[in-house]
Amino acid sequence: MSGLRYTKEHEWLRVEGDVATIGITAYAQEKLGDIVFVELPEPGKTVVKGGEAAVVESVKAASEIYAPVGGEIVEVNGELEADPAIVNADPIGKGWFLKLRLADPGECDTLMDDAAYQDYLKELA
């Protein structure tokens, strides 16, 4: 999907205006296996780039979701708390975790674009 940016920790980010939607990649959800629980932050919380933004638990492991960029959380995907398997079914669509208002839009430039992320995945294979 074009327009996405990625981290080496397998989070994705899509920017619309000054708000970024954040989730985990298909690669990440595949490695985690069946997701059974998602812990989301409260709207209004401020996160820094690289700081913990959410927690996801699967049948295999619990894992932190890190903020690819800093900002104030303006919305969370409450559907994930009732049905965390949405992340497995549609990680880059309905399985988004949170939206945040960017503190510094320039931080997005430090993330990988789709081509760079695909190359990174090849290195991991």
Do 30 and 62 form a contact (C-beta atoms < 8 A)? no
Cα–Cα distance measured from residue 55 to residue 41, given in angstroms and rounded to the nearest whole number = 9
- b/e burial code for range 56-74 (CB count within 10 A of at least 16 → b): bebeeeebebbbbbbbebe
Residues paired with residue 21 on neighbouring β-strands, in sequence order: 14, 99
Report helix, strand or coil for 66: strand
pLDDT in tens, 47-77: 999 999 999 999 999 999 999 999 999 999 9
> What is the reported pTM?
0.94
Do 87 and 95 form a contact (C-beta atoms < 8 A)? yes
pLDDT score recorded for residue 1: 39
Domains and CATH numbers, the chain: 4-124 (2.40.50.100)
pLDDT band at 125 (very low <50, low <70, confident <90, very high): confident
Q: What is the CA radius of gyration of the chain?
A: 13
pLDDT in tens, 13-43: 999 999 999 999 999 999 999 999 999 999 9
